[in-house]
Structure 1
């Protein structure tokens, strides 16, 4: 609040608050008595306010021999404490998730909307973003893209209102279901599809390995036809069981390169390119329990005479089985003590992961959250969120923490560990004091 001498006015001006303030709000002037030409700052402490409100503050200015001046200051207060924001589902460390999970977090009364990010790396760099959206009105979101099996993902959320955008939450990690697959590709292509009549063309793959089918997928169905919607594509097992994969799908398109998987999140989308797996017209689970042994046939039939032909380049069949990997586990996660502006080695006594099936060379740490007050060094190189190192690096003395902020009393970093075969555990915290 600035005062200005007018017409030689030189009396001391005293400021005060005339209106009653709501509970939890205090008002303080940096100086309540000023000489003309000086200024004062009005500090309103609203740190304990936990609701939105419209506030009018009436200020009095008095001086000897002068009229009292009253004026009002108006504030639109929006409660912007987002510290209660919590990620709920998928929970940190969840495994075996399907390829189109729904994400949930705690709703906040003072949040107008939320931003969401899903990534394959906890750095959340643009090249790792799988899906993101801003301005979500509800505390839940289902992605617009299907995820991959056998894959570790990270997700995070932030809240916003008219006044403030919160920091991103610490990320949660989850893993989609783990399968082991054996794939077999055709070698009799390309097979011509004539442009006259209603031809039926067949491509065969002979499997000499015998096993009971738990999950069957069709991959890399690839070819060209001037009118893809004039085609019906089927797969036939050695026992004669048939499932329609696609029929009269998509409009004005001539190239197809698709796969089919009962667990795919979406039905076929157009154009059918990129080798993306979609749900088949008829479920492939009809083959479960049959033998892999014998000749598998892909049938491509023209169902409309308007087309002028094309060819089938190739296809593949994939036999998969789900399994539960043995995950790594934490043996040691002990606090590291580091003097200010100094460094200390992180050894296996501080941080140690083991796995029943994998060696220290195969146990890979991914940094989910970098330290704030120092550097994490692996063989002298600074590592940050998304970077990796191995248990053998710890065992060999190659991992250190360097404090760069002597005023900070504590620090930490977040990490997860994978064993390379689908085993892992969720984001943990390593503490430094």
Structure 2
């Protein structure tokens, strides 16, 4: 039997003449954990009758597995029965978002990430054009992983807000503080492989790789693989994968189209599924999404691996990597000018900072304080109802060092560097 805090259930308890019971039987419970109550109605109950056992779990009860002892007493006779009770965990906190945020521009399909939450069995993500989430443009529920990448692209050069919450069997917890981010237009280039041809021995499991090395300071926003040309008597025995410099892998083709010889094919997530036999020069959807490779640094070796499961030798004669990237720079349109007349003093400080915001903007202001490596120190939503907003930020309990203050509203985000001396 499993119950969430704040809920109850009623069991039916039949009282027979087992063990010599006669007359009335008094009912009771033992080994009841704190926050749980067990009530019987009626009690005592006549032999041969039925009692209702109500088990209620209070909101303060601790999660875990317990064994309740139900007792029936008739004179000097006592009969006992164990009942297993599982108290489920309630999600009371919000997950901590890790990326993206307003400090960097993102691709049009950002990879949203967050930290795990005790008791959460799934997560829900929402992306909206406004801080109140009245206009939600992307969402996903029942996420078991700690990351989410939208299937559809967001608008380029646009500002969005995102948030995440955890869910247990007892329901959903609170959403995280909304995080502002901005997408960036992509710049695409096609890089033709020069280290070819590459021979692939006959199988089974023979493998060869071809590498395109990218020199870039930007991050990947989209990937396509063009003009993969392979001569092979049994192309249906080939498995093609692409691995990014970050080590993420996408399977392009996996032993498809029996009887096919030679390949001249391109791969794009937006293309239609492969139809056999593949026409020469066709573009098809890869087996696993190339979107798995986006949002990471573009620099390094991009590796096309070909595994040959057939008895005939194969040769890769050409391939092209089409790479779309975005700058890894601060989004100045979001970060630096969102709040006019923002003052933080004293700075450096022994621990207490006075934050003054004086402008005509109104509404909720999300405050986030992080340490030098991005861990959240303080998170709070302030309500700005007048021109002047003053807030006393007390960091006297944290270690000396560098911290970052981020204030976010519907108008954008501003950041300040704090020195706790």
* TM above 0.5: no
Q: TM-score, normalised by structure 1?
A: 0.39
Bigger radius of gyration among the two: 1
Q: TM-score, normalised by structure 2?
A: 0.40
